[in-house]
Structure 1
Amino acid sequence: MKLDAVPSDPAALRVLFAQIPQSVVALCGLDASGTPHGVAASSFTPISLEPPLVSVAMAETSTTWPTLRRMPRVGVSLLSHSQADTCRTLAAKGRDRFANLRWSSTVGSSAVFVDGAADGREPLIFHGSGFRRLAAIRPQGIQ
Protein backbone atom coordinates (compact mmCIF):
# COMPACT_ATOMS: atom_id res chain seq x y z
CA MET A 1 0.00 0.00 0.00
CA LYS A 2 1.35 3.37 -0.97
CA LEU A 3 -0.29 6.60 0.10
CA ASP A 4 0.98 9.38 -2.16
CA ALA A 5 -2.17 11.44 -1.88
CA VAL A 6 -5.26 11.04 0.26
CA PRO A 7 -8.18 10.08 -1.99
CA SER A 8 -11.01 12.60 -1.92
CA ASP A 9 -13.57 9.87 -2.57
CA PRO A 10 -14.68 8.27 0.74
CA ALA A 11 -15.25 4.91 -0.97
CA ALA A 12 -11.67 4.88 -2.28
CA LEU A 13 -10.35 5.83 1.15
CA ARG A 14 -12.37 2.99 2.73
CA VAL A 15 -10.77 0.51 0.31
CA LEU A 16 -7.34 1.89 1.17
CA PHE A 17 -7.90 1.76 4.93
CA ALA A 18 -9.34 -1.77 4.67
CA GLN A 19 -5.88 -3.01 3.71
CA ILE A 20 -4.62 -2.38 7.25
CA PRO A 21 -5.21 -5.44 9.49
CA GLN A 22 -6.73 -4.58 12.87
CA SER A 23 -7.42 -6.63 15.98
CA VAL A 24 -10.96 -6.30 17.33
CA VAL A 25 -11.79 -5.54 20.95
CA ALA A 26 -15.01 -5.18 22.90
CA LEU A 27 -15.19 -2.16 25.22
CA CYS A 28 -17.95 -2.78 27.76
CA GLY A 29 -19.18 -1.50 31.09
CA LEU A 30 -22.11 -1.28 33.49
CA ASP A 31 -24.01 1.93 34.06
CA ALA A 32 -25.22 3.00 37.53
CA SER A 33 -28.38 0.87 37.17
CA GLY A 34 -26.36 -2.27 36.31
CA THR A 35 -27.23 -2.23 32.61
CA PRO A 36 -24.37 -3.33 30.32
CA HIS A 37 -23.26 -1.15 27.41
CA GLY A 38 -20.60 -1.97 24.86
CA VAL A 39 -19.08 -1.46 21.44
CA ALA A 40 -16.73 -3.30 19.13
CA ALA A 41 -13.62 -1.38 18.10
CA SER A 42 -10.85 -2.10 15.65
CA SER A 43 -8.99 1.10 16.46
CA PHE A 44 -7.45 -0.13 19.71
CA THR A 45 -3.71 0.45 20.18
CA PRO A 46 -1.52 -0.26 23.23
CA ILE A 47 0.51 2.84 24.11
CA SER A 48 2.41 2.25 27.35
CA LEU A 49 3.02 -0.45 29.95
CA GLU A 50 3.99 1.95 32.71
CA PRO A 51 1.55 3.49 33.25
CA PRO A 52 -0.84 1.17 31.40
CA LEU A 53 -2.28 3.29 28.57
CA VAL A 54 -4.21 2.47 25.41
CA SER A 55 -5.71 4.49 22.60
CA VAL A 56 -9.10 3.86 21.02
CA ALA A 57 -10.98 5.93 18.47
CA MET A 58 -14.75 6.10 18.15
CA ALA A 59 -16.95 7.53 15.42
CA GLU A 60 -18.43 10.93 16.18
CA THR A 61 -21.83 9.39 15.55
CA SER A 62 -21.46 6.72 18.27
CA THR A 63 -24.36 6.84 20.71
CA THR A 64 -22.73 4.28 23.05
CA TRP A 65 -19.34 5.94 23.54
CA PRO A 66 -20.68 8.93 25.51
CA THR A 67 -22.14 6.44 28.02
CA LEU A 68 -18.98 4.34 28.23
CA ARG A 69 -16.62 7.29 28.66
CA ARG A 70 -18.48 8.43 31.78
CA MET A 71 -17.93 5.06 33.49
CA PRO A 72 -15.16 4.77 36.09
CA ARG A 73 -13.90 1.53 34.45
CA VAL A 74 -14.47 -0.12 31.11
CA GLY A 75 -13.53 -3.74 30.38
CA VAL A 76 -11.44 -4.50 27.31
CA SER A 77 -11.89 -7.94 25.75
CA LEU A 78 -9.69 -8.96 22.81
CA LEU A 79 -12.14 -10.95 20.70
CA SER A 80 -11.01 -14.41 19.58
CA HIS A 81 -11.07 -15.73 16.02
CA SER A 82 -14.39 -17.50 16.67
CA GLN A 83 -16.23 -14.35 17.82
CA ALA A 84 -17.13 -12.64 14.54
CA ASP A 85 -20.83 -12.92 15.47
CA THR A 86 -20.09 -11.33 18.85
CA CYS A 87 -18.42 -8.43 17.06
CA ARG A 88 -21.41 -8.00 14.76
CA THR A 89 -23.75 -8.05 17.78
CA LEU A 90 -21.75 -5.36 19.58
CA ALA A 91 -21.68 -3.24 16.42
CA ALA A 92 -25.46 -3.49 15.84
CA LYS A 93 -27.62 -0.43 16.27
CA GLY A 94 -31.09 -0.19 17.71
CA ARG A 95 -31.19 -3.45 19.69
CA ASP A 96 -30.06 -4.96 22.98
CA ARG A 97 -26.44 -5.89 22.27
CA PHE A 98 -26.24 -8.06 25.39
CA ALA A 99 -29.47 -10.08 24.95
CA ASN A 100 -27.65 -13.23 23.73
CA LEU A 101 -24.12 -12.34 24.77
CA ARG A 102 -22.33 -14.17 27.58
CA TRP A 103 -20.37 -11.78 29.78
CA SER A 104 -19.17 -11.16 33.31
CA SER A 105 -18.32 -8.12 35.38
CA THR A 106 -15.73 -7.59 38.07
CA VAL A 107 -16.92 -7.28 41.66
CA GLY A 108 -17.20 -3.67 42.74
CA SER A 109 -16.37 -2.34 39.29
CA SER A 110 -18.25 -1.26 36.19
CA ALA A 111 -15.91 -3.23 33.88
CA VAL A 112 -17.61 -5.89 31.73
CA PHE A 113 -15.76 -8.69 29.93
CA VAL A 114 -17.04 -10.82 27.05
CA ASP A 115 -16.84 -14.56 27.70
CA GLY A 116 -14.66 -16.49 25.25
CA ALA A 117 -12.42 -13.53 24.44
CA ALA A 118 -8.84 -14.24 23.28
CA ASP A 119 -7.29 -15.57 26.48
CA GLY A 120 -4.66 -17.75 24.81
CA ARG A 121 -6.76 -18.01 21.65
CA GLU A 122 -6.02 -16.56 18.24
CA PRO A 123 -7.42 -13.02 17.96
CA LEU A 124 -10.14 -11.91 15.57
CA ILE A 125 -8.66 -9.76 12.80
CA PHE A 126 -10.55 -7.29 10.60
CA HIS A 127 -8.91 -6.93 7.20
CA GLY A 128 -10.16 -6.30 3.66
CA SER A 129 -13.63 -5.44 5.01
CA GLY A 130 -14.01 -8.92 6.51
CA PHE A 131 -12.97 -11.03 9.48
CA ARG A 132 -9.78 -13.08 9.27
CA ARG A 133 -7.52 -15.31 11.34
CA LEU A 134 -3.79 -15.00 11.80
CA ALA A 135 -1.60 -17.51 10.03
CA ALA A 136 2.03 -18.16 10.85
CA ILE A 137 4.53 -17.79 8.02
CA ARG A 138 6.96 -20.64 7.82
CA PRO A 139 10.54 -19.69 7.09
CA GLN A 140 11.60 -20.68 3.58
CA GLY A 141 13.04 -24.14 3.36
CA ILE A 142 11.04 -25.50 6.32
CA GLN A 143 8.12 -27.77 5.49
Structure 2
Amino acid sequence: MSTSTSTSTSTSMSDALCPPLNTTAQLDPTAKLDPTAKLDTKALRAAFAQFATGVTVMTSQTHAPCGMTANAFTSLSMDPPLALVCVAQSAAMHAAVLRARVFGVSVLAADQEGHACYFADRTRPRGAAEFDGIAWHPGPQTGVPLLAGALARLECRLTDVHRGGDHSIFVGEVVGFTHGAPTAAEALIFHRGGFHRLPTRRPA
Protein backbone atom coordinates (compact mmCIF):
# COMPACT_ATOMS: atom_id res chain seq x y z
CA MET A 1 0.00 0.00 0.00
CA SER A 2 1.09 3.56 -0.57
CA THR A 3 2.59 5.31 2.42
CA SER A 4 1.59 8.82 1.44
CA THR A 5 -0.23 10.70 4.19
CA SER A 6 -3.72 12.13 4.02
CA THR A 7 -5.78 14.80 5.74
CA SER A 8 -9.38 15.89 5.50
CA THR A 9 -10.73 19.36 4.73
CA SER A 10 -14.39 18.36 4.84
CA THR A 11 -14.78 18.63 8.63
CA SER A 12 -13.21 21.35 10.74
CA MET A 13 -11.06 19.96 13.53
CA SER A 14 -12.18 22.91 15.67
CA ASP A 15 -15.69 21.43 15.56
CA ALA A 16 -14.52 18.16 17.14
CA LEU A 17 -14.59 17.43 20.87
CA CYS A 18 -10.92 17.63 21.80
CA PRO A 19 -9.24 16.65 25.09
CA PRO A 20 -6.88 19.03 26.90
CA LEU A 21 -3.39 19.50 25.49
CA ASN A 22 -0.67 17.11 26.63
CA THR A 23 1.92 19.49 28.04
CA THR A 24 4.18 16.80 29.52
CA ALA A 25 5.62 15.49 26.24
CA GLN A 26 9.38 16.00 25.92
CA LEU A 27 11.80 15.91 23.00
CA ASP A 28 14.00 12.82 22.84
CA PRO A 29 17.41 14.05 24.11
CA THR A 30 19.17 11.23 22.26
CA ALA A 31 17.78 12.25 18.87
CA LYS A 32 20.38 14.01 16.76
CA LEU A 33 20.13 15.32 13.20
CA ASP A 34 23.02 14.68 10.86
CA PRO A 35 22.61 16.75 7.67
CA THR A 36 25.33 14.70 5.95
CA ALA A 37 23.74 11.31 6.62
CA LYS A 38 22.27 9.37 3.72
CA LEU A 39 18.50 9.01 3.95
CA ASP A 40 17.52 5.60 5.30
CA THR A 41 14.53 4.66 3.14
CA LYS A 42 13.56 1.76 5.40
CA ALA A 43 13.47 4.05 8.41
CA LEU A 44 11.56 6.66 6.40
CA ARG A 45 8.94 4.07 5.46
CA ALA A 46 8.59 3.25 9.16
CA ALA A 47 8.19 6.95 9.93
CA PHE A 48 5.46 7.33 7.30
CA ALA A 49 3.74 4.26 8.76
CA GLN A 50 3.20 6.07 12.08
CA PHE A 51 0.45 8.08 10.41
CA ALA A 52 -2.84 6.19 10.58
CA THR A 53 -5.06 6.42 7.51
CA GLY A 54 -8.35 5.13 6.28
CA VAL A 55 -8.38 2.50 3.54
CA THR A 56 -10.08 2.80 0.16
CA VAL A 57 -10.44 0.84 -3.03
CA MET A 58 -9.86 3.06 -6.05
CA THR A 59 -11.58 1.93 -9.26
CA SER A 60 -11.84 2.88 -12.89
CA GLN A 61 -13.42 1.49 -16.03
CA THR A 62 -11.99 1.14 -19.51
CA HIS A 63 -12.54 -2.07 -21.49
CA ALA A 64 -12.96 -3.85 -18.13
CA PRO A 65 -13.32 -2.71 -14.52
CA CYS A 66 -10.15 -2.39 -12.48
CA GLY A 67 -9.45 -1.76 -8.81
CA MET A 68 -6.58 -0.97 -6.45
CA THR A 69 -6.26 -0.62 -2.68
CA ALA A 70 -5.20 2.93 -1.80
CA ASN A 71 -4.65 4.77 1.46
CA ALA A 72 -3.09 7.88 -0.12
CA PHE A 73 -6.52 9.47 -0.54
CA THR A 74 -7.77 12.79 0.79
CA SER A 75 -10.51 15.33 0.38
CA LEU A 76 -9.07 18.49 -1.15
CA SER A 77 -11.71 21.17 -1.62
CA MET A 78 -15.40 21.77 -1.00
CA ASP A 79 -15.80 24.53 -3.59
CA PRO A 80 -15.37 23.05 -6.10
CA PRO A 81 -15.72 19.56 -4.60
CA LEU A 82 -12.34 17.90 -5.18
CA ALA A 83 -10.58 14.77 -3.94
CA LEU A 84 -7.19 13.31 -4.74
CA VAL A 85 -5.51 9.92 -4.84
CA CYS A 86 -1.79 9.22 -5.25
CA VAL A 87 -1.02 6.32 -7.61
CA ALA A 88 2.29 4.72 -8.52
CA GLN A 89 3.15 5.36 -12.15
CA SER A 90 3.93 1.66 -12.54
CA ALA A 91 0.42 0.61 -11.43
CA ALA A 92 -2.16 -0.60 -13.93
CA MET A 93 -4.59 1.87 -12.33
CA HIS A 94 -2.37 4.76 -13.44
CA ALA A 95 -2.84 4.01 -17.13
CA ALA A 96 -6.52 3.17 -16.65
CA VAL A 97 -7.38 6.52 -15.06
CA LEU A 98 -5.47 8.44 -17.73
CA ARG A 99 -7.50 6.62 -20.39
CA ALA A 100 -10.91 6.75 -18.72
CA ARG A 101 -10.54 10.23 -17.14
CA VAL A 102 -12.82 9.06 -14.30
CA PHE A 103 -12.27 7.13 -11.08
CA GLY A 104 -14.20 5.91 -8.07
CA VAL A 105 -13.27 5.69 -4.39
CA SER A 106 -14.94 3.29 -1.95
CA VAL A 107 -14.07 3.98 1.70
CA LEU A 108 -13.84 0.58 3.38
CA ALA A 109 -15.60 -0.50 6.56
CA ALA A 110 -13.80 -2.55 9.21
CA ASP A 111 -15.38 -5.79 7.98
CA GLN A 112 -13.96 -5.22 4.48
CA GLU A 113 -10.33 -5.99 5.32
CA GLY A 114 -10.57 -8.88 2.87
CA HIS A 115 -11.35 -6.42 0.08
CA ALA A 116 -8.30 -4.34 1.02
CA CYS A 117 -6.04 -7.39 0.93
CA TYR A 118 -7.53 -8.66 -2.32
CA PHE A 119 -7.10 -5.42 -4.27
CA ALA A 120 -3.54 -5.07 -2.94
CA ASP A 121 -2.60 -8.60 -4.09
CA ARG A 122 -0.55 -8.37 -7.27
CA THR A 123 -1.45 -11.98 -8.17
CA ARG A 124 -5.21 -11.31 -8.30
CA PRO A 125 -6.99 -11.87 -11.64
CA ARG A 126 -7.11 -8.94 -14.03
CA GLY A 127 -9.63 -7.89 -16.62
CA ALA A 128 -13.27 -8.88 -16.28
CA ALA A 129 -12.39 -11.61 -13.74
CA GLU A 130 -10.93 -9.11 -11.26
CA PHE A 131 -14.35 -8.36 -9.78
CA ASP A 132 -15.64 -11.94 -9.72
CA GLY A 133 -17.15 -12.54 -6.30
CA ILE A 134 -17.06 -8.82 -5.39
CA ALA A 135 -20.39 -7.11 -4.73
CA TRP A 136 -20.39 -3.83 -6.64
CA HIS A 137 -22.49 -1.62 -8.87
CA PRO A 138 -21.59 0.91 -11.58
CA GLY A 139 -21.70 4.53 -10.49
CA PRO A 140 -24.67 6.36 -12.01
CA GLN A 141 -22.56 9.34 -13.10
CA THR A 142 -19.43 7.66 -14.47
CA GLY A 143 -19.98 3.90 -14.59
CA VAL A 144 -16.96 3.20 -12.37
CA PRO A 145 -17.30 0.25 -9.96
CA LEU A 146 -18.43 1.18 -6.45
CA LEU A 147 -18.21 -1.46 -3.71
CA ALA A 148 -21.26 -2.57 -1.77
CA GLY A 149 -20.96 -2.16 2.00
CA ALA A 150 -18.44 0.69 1.83
CA LEU A 151 -18.77 3.55 4.32
CA ALA A 152 -18.76 6.06 1.45
CA ARG A 153 -18.56 5.90 -2.32
CA LEU A 154 -17.34 8.75 -4.53
CA GLU A 155 -17.37 9.22 -8.29
CA CYS A 156 -14.78 11.63 -9.70
CA ARG A 157 -13.92 13.14 -13.06
CA LEU A 158 -10.19 13.69 -13.53
CA THR A 159 -9.31 17.40 -13.58
CA ASP A 160 -5.55 17.54 -12.92
CA VAL A 161 -2.53 15.25 -12.80
CA HIS A 162 0.61 16.24 -10.92
CA ARG A 163 3.86 14.31 -10.93
CA GLY A 164 5.22 13.46 -7.49
CA GLY A 165 8.39 11.38 -7.76
CA ASP A 166 7.43 7.84 -8.77
CA HIS A 167 3.72 8.58 -8.18
CA SER A 168 1.14 10.79 -9.82
CA ILE A 169 -1.38 12.84 -7.88
CA PHE A 170 -4.79 12.44 -9.51
CA VAL A 171 -7.16 15.28 -8.67
CA GLY A 172 -10.82 14.64 -9.43
CA GLU A 173 -14.01 16.65 -9.20
CA VAL A 174 -16.61 14.76 -7.16
CA VAL A 175 -19.66 14.34 -9.40
CA GLY A 176 -21.56 11.86 -7.25
CA PHE A 177 -21.39 10.26 -3.82
CA THR A 178 -23.27 8.19 -1.27
CA HIS A 179 -22.56 7.36 2.37
CA GLY A 180 -24.13 5.54 5.27
CA ALA A 181 -25.29 6.85 8.62
CA PRO A 182 -22.47 8.24 10.84
CA THR A 183 -22.89 5.34 13.30
CA ALA A 184 -23.58 2.65 10.70
CA ALA A 185 -20.25 0.81 10.80
CA GLU A 186 -16.69 0.94 12.08
CA ALA A 187 -13.92 2.21 9.81
CA LEU A 188 -10.97 0.19 8.53
CA ILE A 189 -7.65 1.80 9.48
CA PHE A 190 -4.11 1.16 8.21
CA HIS A 191 -1.35 1.86 10.74
CA ARG A 192 2.22 0.58 11.13
CA GLY A 193 1.80 -1.88 8.28
CA GLY A 194 -1.36 -3.51 9.61
CA PHE A 195 -5.14 -3.16 9.58
CA HIS A 196 -7.12 -1.99 12.61
CA ARG A 197 -10.71 -1.16 13.47
CA LEU A 198 -11.73 2.36 14.40
CA PRO A 199 -14.79 2.14 16.66
CA THR A 200 -17.65 4.49 15.85
CA ARG A 201 -17.78 7.44 18.20
CA ARG A 202 -21.27 7.83 19.58
CA PRO A 203 -22.69 11.35 19.92
CA ALA A 204 -22.73 12.63 23.51
Does TM, scored on the shorter chain, surpass 0.5?
Answer: yes
Residues 19 and 70 from structure 1, CA distance in 2 versus in 1: closer, same or farther, beyond 3 angstroms?
same
Question: Looking at both structures, which has the greater relative contact order when contacts are Cα pairs under 8 Å and sequence separation is at least 6?
Answer: 1
Distance between the aligned counterparts of 1:108 and 1:131, measured in 2? Answer: 31
Residues 61 and 4 from structure 1, CA distance in 2 versus in 1: closer, same or farther, beyond 3 angstroms?
farther
Please give the secondary structure, in 2, of the residue aligned with 1:83. helix
Please say which of residues 86-95 and 60-69 is displaced more in the overlay.
60-69
Distance between the aligned counterparts of 1:112 and 1:37, measured in 2? Answer: 8
Tell me the alpha carbon deviations over residues 69-102 of structure 1, each in whole angstroms, 9 at most, x when there is no partner: 3214222110111111101111111332322211
Please give the secondary structure, in 1, of the residue aligned with 2:133. coil
Unpaired runs of 5+ in structure 1? Answer: 138-143
Contact conserved, 1:21 with 1:127, CA < 8 A, in 2?
Answer: yes
Correspondence 1:53 to 2:82: yes
Correspondence 1:125 to 2:189: yes
Q: Which letter does structure 2 place at the counterpart of 1:53?
A: L
Q: CA RMSD in A?
A: 2.8
Q: Which letter does structure 2 place at the counterpart of 1:19?
A: Q
Distance between the aligned counterparts of 1:108 and 1:44, measured in 2? Answer: 20
Distance between the aligned counterparts of 2:97 and 2:134, measured in 1? Answer: 18
Q: Alignment partner for residue 28 of structure 1, among 53, 59, 62? A: 59
Residues 13 and 86 from structure 1, CA distance in 2 versus in 1: closer, same or farther, beyond 3 angstroms?
same
The 5 Å alignment of 1:1-143 reads 8-31=39-62, 33=63, 35-96=64-125, 97-107=130-140, 109-118=142-151, 119-120=180-181, 121-135=185-199
Q: Which structure has the larger Rg?
A: 2
Q: CA deviation at 1:4?
A: 7.7
Residues 72 and 136 from structure 1, CA distance in 2 versus in 1: closer, same or farther, beyond 3 angstroms?
closer
Question: Paired residues, what number?
Answer: 136
Percent identity between matched residues is 30
Please give the secondary structure, in 2, of the residue aligned with 1:133. strand
Tell me the alpha carbon deviations over residues 45-65 of structure 1, each in whole angstroms, 9 at most, x when there is no partner: 101111111121112321222
Distance between the aligned counterparts of 1:131 and 1:113, measured in 2? Answer: 21
Distance between the aligned counterparts of 2:102 and 2:135, measured in 1? Answer: 19
Larger strand share, 1 or 2? 2
Residues 115 and 55 from structure 1, CA distance in 2 versus in 1: closer, same or farther, beyond 3 angstroms?
same
Please give the secondary structure, in 1, of the residue aligned with 2:57. strand
Distance between the aligned counterparts of 2:58 and 2:50, measured in 1? Answer: 23
Residues 57 and 4 from structure 1, CA distance in 2 versus in 1: closer, same or farther, beyond 3 angstroms?
farther
Tell me the alpha carbon deviations over residues 85-124 of structure 1, each in whole angstroms, 9 at most, x when there is no partner: 1011111113323222111103463321011111342221
Unpaired runs of 5+ in structure 2? Answer: 1-26, 152-179
Q: Which letter does structure 2 place at the counterpart of 1:92?
A: D
